[in-house]
Chains A and B, each alone.
Chain A
Amino acid sequence: MAKPELMDYDKALELFEPVLGFEVHVELNTKTKMFCGCANEFGSGANTNTCPTCLGLPGGLPQVNHKAIESSIRLGLALGCEIAEHSRFARKNYFYPDTAKNFQTSQYDDPICHDGSLTIELESGRLVTVEIERAHMEDDAGKLTHMGGSTGRIQGADYSLVDYNRGGVPLVEIVTQMIEGAEHDAPEIGRTYVAGIREIAKALGVSNARMEEGNVRCDANVSLRPRGSKVLGTRTETKNVNSLRSVERAVRYEIQRQAAVLAAGGTITQETRHWHEDTGITSAGRPKSDADDYRYFPEPDLVPMAPSREWVEELRRTLPEPPAARRKRLQADWGFANLEFQDVVNSDLMDAVEATVAAGASAQSARKWWTGEVARLANAAGVAADSLVQPAQLAALIALVDAGTLTDRLARQVLEGVIAGEGTPAEVVASRGLAVVSDDGALIAAIDEALSKQPDVLAKIRDGKLQAAGAVIGAVMKAMRGQADAARVRELVLERAGTAESGTVE
């Protein structure tokens, strides 16, 4: 496919005003699916988590998962939404092999949550309030794998395999109002908004919120309107953008692409577009018109829902502190500079640091260890840092350093032992024999021996050339196999040099 022309981003913004809209799908982490008792889990054998209902077999009927309704309401409340007093499911009818019933059980006229907003903070400090039109419940489709052909896409495939394990998994689709006034920040708004939704879903515990596993998926709508015009431009919908960085790139790309088309006198086709992670471009999907006819009608196999106000208020009381407020509070509590705090946030280590501090470590030590040595080891192992070691263990390790039992160097070895499953830091210290030698007797013996072997150094020290002590300290540290506190050794060397008789050290 010919690479389309792109307009310079700044130039595009000079000529056009971008208008955005996002549809974010959050996959809930309920134990069972939305409408049947099958397990909602990732990675099972193909088509093993299925039953007559989620396979769309004749005679199958849906049963609503009340935990999914609860999670949806909590998510809606966290987004400041109204919770509908009367809500019902509707069928969205279309034929596709990954949709077992050939209709999706979704919501149309009466979504469970509506009219909310999320305020996000950009890196510049600019606050943007994204209005949320609705958050509704629906079931996910199965997964198609296209076999044969070279691209893995449906075009050119010989046949397709379908796995219905994901079919029927509960989703909440969060739909924004039109976002105007984004200006140059449009791509960052996209990224930050999706990050905000993800953070809230994670904080609520309603979703695993792993974008790489498709727990959070974003469709990005972008249109441009010429400066000075009141008329909205034609929009495109880039589907399934599945990382925060990609959301940002896809929005930027569409702005530049559409601007080039419009500036050249062309028109934008209302269509869905595919995002290509590898090349960083979008390509045309299927035409989409506002008149797409899904023949929605109320789902007759399910009764309408009427969540009681008491229940909604009860759920409201279970909401955690909003992530943005929490971030502000923690940064202040910890006294971190912006860059230090951003480092923690970007590494997804806020919870870990918080727990480590709660276990008694100082905030700076916790930050230093998590973003330093633990992150380095995790990176090497290709796993998440917070999966390597428990915050309590790290706090215990930090306490050993603070108490002088371990030097940083020793502590790193102990950490490796803890990660290797050798026990708590104290146990590793004991079993590996890694503690700092704090027994002055042992140190003095080693110092006296070193001084007696290096009478010239002793003489220099006595002459006030204290830097000469380094040679003795080195010898002592070597003798102690590194398990000594160098500062204490230095103190003792100077002390012994002052009292020892040359050549008659005992």
Chain B
Amino acid sequence: MTELIRLTAAELSSRLQAGTVSAVEATQAHLDQIVAVDTDLHAFLHVAADAALATAARIDARRAAGEKLGPLAGVPIAIKDVLTTLDMPTTAGSKILEGWVPPYDATVVARLRAADLIPLGKTNMDEFAMGSSTEHSAYGVTRNPWDRDRIPGGSGGGSAAAVASFQAPLALGSDTGGSIRQPAAVTGSVGVKPTYGAVSRYGAIALASSLDQVGPVSRTVFDAALLHDVIGGHDPLDSTSLTDAWPSMAAAATAGLADGALKGVRVGVIKELSGSGFQAGVTQRFTETLALLTAAGAEITEVSAPNFEYAVAAYYLILPAEASSNLARFDSVRFGIRVDPAEGSLTSEHVMAATREAGFGPEVKRRIILGTYALSTGYYDAYYGSAQKVRTLIQRDFAAAFEKVDILVSPSAPTTAFKFGEKLEDPMAMYRSDITTIPANLAGVPGMSIPIGLAPEDGLPVGLQIMAPARADARLYTYGAAIEQLLEATWGHTMLDQAPALALATTAKGAI
């Protein structure tokens, strides 16, 4: 069974199609791993074991009956709790939604089901995706499989940890300022934020509508591509969804494995996303990777994106502004918890206030207050208006850079996984964890994080961020797969082969 959980989604898929493994066996193996390690890691908020096994049995029966199934049919998957699911509670990591079971599936979830993937459960996250450590979940922290004293990144720490600890070969995440890529980087997994509008947001509980994007989390670039192909494409229910005809991302990833795939590729290193503020081991692995790319025939040039300097500031105006409005609906009237005020009359206003006071955590309240202020009459132009201008400037920086290079690269995060509590009292320090990832969200361009080794000083994973022009998601998969292959050839093994033994259940209880 251990072997089954270590397979990539693609490998597992081959065995399922060959009939050497059943979907029930594959599902059971992952459920066993969840039982073995998740009491300690806490990647999942909800595990739907019975439903997953029942789904697996149905898929096995259909396969046995000769039905032609999709490439990922029978492969288990974990779903970030920000996505609505008909048969599982959906909380977005917040107390205010405790126990809420939505009456509908998010479009991406519906597409997973239609492609016969097997939902294992819902993964932990910072409340309403606000955070970079998953410490802001109302339901407790998720531990990093590489070091249980450290954060798994955020907001999608649960999905990244689940994949990195072999509890699921695939997971769905959502990325507003790095919530897929930064957790991938600090857990040694792969995460992709597609082009804004490439994947439907319908049923993704909104944090910041103009920045949010759903994307795949996996252990290999090719697996991410397979999942991207399932969830991507136009959705009439999301008005910002692009109507493009997309190429196969899996085919794009396969193209990257060809000899000489990196030859002549113009790679831009963003001057503003390197140097001071970056952990030494992160910079070291990044530089080594650039050297490998050069050796493989890529042309490395430095490009400047002068307005990236203002990205974090602009982001922390736009995001709270949109979030303050998006989170207004959590008012106890139609769904979620209701808290009556301790004193005073039971007017709707008082009940709404008491519910929001009790239901939202401190980070959520901080951002609602920030956003409400930023949108106020008299401040709108100075804050929200200016931030939107910065956004335009950042888009221009990207456009100028992509005239010179095919892809842009940077470390995925300034540091490796930090310790619990390290940045909890200093929101600004926490916000800076996303300095590398935020520009892609502001500009709507796609970004990917792949593992590029361990930082020598702490033995923790370092990620490489690759960015491409909007709509050129396929480029990420091609060059991501090429670089992944190059690194693994250099190491002689995969990244996660270096991970510490993950049979933590027996040793960990109460240890921390």
List chain A positions with a Cβ less than 8 A from chain B.
Answer: 52, 55-64, 91, 93, 95-97, 100-103, 160, 162, 291, 293, 295-297, 300-303
Most chain A CB within a 10 A radius of its CB, from B106, B237, B335:
B237
Give 9 nearest A-B pairs by CB, closest first.
A102-B328, A295-B375, A300-B209, A300-B210, A59-B203, A58-B205, A56-B329, A59-B84, A97-B348
Given A59-B104, A59-B205, 5 extra CB contacts under 8 A? A59-B203, A295-B372, A295-B376, A296-B375, A303-B239
Q: Would you call B209 and A301 a contact (CB within 8 A)?
A: yes
Say whether B334 contacts A100, CB under 8 Å: yes
With A61-B238, A95-B349, A97-B333 as given contacts, are A103 and B325 in contact (CB-CB < 8 Å)?
Answer: yes
Contacts of B322 in A (CB 8 A): 297, 300
**B193 close to A (CB within 8 Å):** no
Q: Which residues of B contact A (CB under 8 A)?
A: 83-84, 90, 92, 97, 100, 102-104, 106, 201-206, 208-210, 236-240, 321-322, 324-325, 328-331, 333-335, 348-349, 352, 372, 375-377, 380, 384
Q: What residues on B are CB-neighbors of A102 within 8 Å?
A: 328-329, 331
Which residue in chain B gives the minimum CB-CB distance to A162?
B333
Are the C-beta atoms of A58 and B90 separated by less than 8 Å?
yes
Q: CB-CB < 8 A to B206: which residues of A? A: 58-59, 61, 301
Docked CA distance A95–B348 (Å): 10
Bound Cα distance from A301 to B204, whole angstroms: 12
Point out the residues of chain A lying under 8 angstroms from B236, CB to CB: 63
B325 touches A59 (CB 8 A): no
Q: Are B333 and A59 in contact (CB under 8 A)?
A: no
> Which residue on B lies nearest to A47, using beta carbons?
B334
Given A57-B103, A59-B84, A59-B203, also A297-B384 (CB < 8 A): yes
Q: Which residue of A lies closest to B90 (CB)?
A: A58
Interchain Cβ contacts under 8 Å between A and B, 19 examples: A56-B329, A56-B334, A57-B329, A57-B334, A57-B335, A59-B83, A59-B102, A59-B203, A61-B239, A93-B324, A93-B325, A93-B328, A97-B333, A101-B329, A295-B376, A295-B377, A297-B322, A300-B240, A303-B240
| B325-A91 in contact (CB<8A) | yes
What CA separation (Å) do A297 and B100 show in the bound complex? 29
B325 contacts A295, CB within 8 Å? Answer: yes
B334 in contact with A52 (CB, 8 Å): no
Q: Which of B92, B240, B376 contacts A58 (CB 8 A)?
A: B92
CB-based contact A61/B328 at 8 Å: no
Which chain B residues border A103 with CB–CB below 8 Å? 325, 328
Q: Which residue of B lies closest to A96 (CB)?
A: B348
Majority secondary structure, A binding face: loop
A64 to B202, CA, bound (A): 14
Residues of B contacting A62 in the complex (Cβ-Cβ under 8 angstroms): 239
Q: A97-B333, A160-B348, A295-B376 are in contact. Are A59 and B204 (CB under 8 A)?
A: yes
Q: How far is the CB of A417 from chain B (nearest CB, A)?
A: 52
Contact B334–A55 (Cβ < 8 Å): yes
Minimal beta-carbon separation of B288 from chain A (angstroms): 40
Query: Given the complex, which residues of A lie within 8 Å of B104, measured CB to CB?
Result: 52, 57, 59
**Cα distance A123–B324 when bound, in Å?**
51
Output the nearest chain B residue to A159 by Cβ-Cβ distance: B346
CB distance from A337 to the nearest CB of B (A): 55
Q: Is the CB of A58 within 8 A of B239?
A: no
Minimal beta-carbon separation of B441 from chain A (angstroms)? 12
Q: Are B239 and A302 in contact (CB under 8 A)?
A: yes
Across-interface contacts of A58 in B (CB, < 8 A):
84, 90, 92, 97, 100, 102, 205-206, 329-330, 335
Q: Is A61 within 8 A of B237, CB to CB? A: yes
Contact call A297/B329, Cβ cutoff below 8 A: no
- B321:A297 contact, CB within 8 angstroms: yes
CB neighbours of A302 from chain B (8 A): 239-240
Q: Complex: how many Å from CA A97 to CA B329? A: 10
CB distance from A277 to the nearest CB of B (A): 26
Give the docked Cα–Cα distance between A58 and B129 (Å).
13
Docked CA distance A295–B210 (Å): 17
Closest to B321 in A: A297
Q: Which residue of B lies closest to A299 (CB)?
A: B209
Q: How far is the CB of A18 from chain B (nearest CB, A)?
A: 29
Q: Which residues of chain A are within 8 angstroms of B238 by Cβ–Cβ distance?
A: 61
Which residues of the partner chain B approach A100 to less than 8 Å between Cβ atoms? 329, 333-334
Question: Which one of B209, B325, B352, B376 has the greatest number of beta carbons of chain A within 10 Å?
Answer: B325
Q: How far is the CB of A46 from chain B (nearest CB, A)?
A: 13
A104 CB, min distance to chain B CBs, angstroms: 11
Inter-chain CA distance A422–B316, complex, in Å, is 73
Please, how many angstroms separate the alpha-carbon atoms of A412 and B402 in the complex? 83
CB neighbours of B352 from chain A (8 A): 95
Q: How far, in whole Å, are A63 and B240 apart by their CA atoms in the complex?
A: 9
A52 to B349, CA, bound (A): 23
Provide the bound-state CA to CA distance between A303 and B240, in Å.
6
How many angstroms between the C-alpha atoms of A61 and B100 in the bound complex? 19
Q: With a CB–CB cut-off of 8 A, which chain B residues contact A293?
A: 376-377
> CA A296 – CA B374 in complex, angstroms?
11
Known: A59-B106, A59-B206. Is A301-B239 also a contact (CB below 8 A)? yes
Specify which chain B residues have a CB less than 8 angstroms from the CB of A63 in the assembled complex.
236-237, 239
Contacts of B380 in A (CB 8 A): 295-297
> For A95, what are the chain B residues with a Cβ–Cβ distance below 8 Å?
328, 331, 349, 352
Cα(A63)–Cα(B235), bound, Å: 11
Q: How far is the CA of A296 from the CA of B377 in the complex (A)?
A: 9
Is the pair A61, B201 in contact by a Cβ cutoff of 8 Å? yes
Q: How far is the CA of A315 from the CA of B322 in the complex (A)?
A: 35
A303–B239 Cα gap in the complex (Å)? 7
Task: List the A side residues contacting B102 at CB < 8 Å.
Answer: 52, 57-59
Chain A residues, Cβ within 8 Å of B103: 52, 57
Query: A295 to B379, alpha carbons, bound, how many Å?
Result: 10
Give the complex CA separation of A295 and B385 in angstroms: 12
Q: How far is the CB of B86 from chain A (nearest CB, A)?
A: 11
Q: How far is the CA of A291 from the CA of B378 in the complex (A)?
A: 10
**Docked CA distance A57–B331 (Å):** 11
CB-defined contacts of B237 to chain A, threshold 8 Å: 61, 63
**A52 nearest CB neighbor, chain B only:** B104
A64 to B330, CA, bound (A): 23
Q: Of A57, A101, A160, A301, which contacts B328 at CB under 8 A?
A: A101
- Cα distance A357–B236 in the bound complex, in angstroms: 48
Docked complex Cα distance between A100 and B322 (Å)? 17
